[in-house]
Amino acid sequence: MKWMELLIVAGATLTAAVTVVVLYSLGVRLTAIAGDRQAAAPLWVRYLSYACFGLCGVAVLFGLYLIIPYFSG
């Protein structure tokens, strides 16, 4: 069995999963900060949250592109 390839795939999977979770969590946190009425947050915080959600979506779509054989063949 090719153990090095297995470790590479496991590492890439772990890295991608952590990246998507961190981007989504950061987007949720920034949305909560931007929606807080007590402290006036700058407008760029809301746009940064949208960027985090967008990058999360791009990562998910790229993963689907890699998984579904119809798109890669």
Dihedral (C-alpha) 30, 31, 32, 36: value to the nearest 10 degrees? 100
- Mean pLDDT computed over every residue of the chain: 91
Q: What is the per-residue pLDDT for 28?
A: 96
| CA–CA separation, 3 and 33 (whole Å) | 45
42-68: pLDDT as tens digits: 889 999 999 999 999 999 999 899 889
Helix 3-35 / helix 43-67 crossing angle, nearest 10 deg: 150
Confidence of residue 38 (pLDDT cuts 50, 70, 90): confident
Query: 73 pLDDT exceeds 80?
Result: no
Query: Roughly how many angstroms between the first and final C-alpha of the chain, as a whole number?
Result: 26
Indicate whether this model's pTM tops 0.85: no
SS3 content of the chain, % helix, strand, coil (to 5): 85, 0, 15
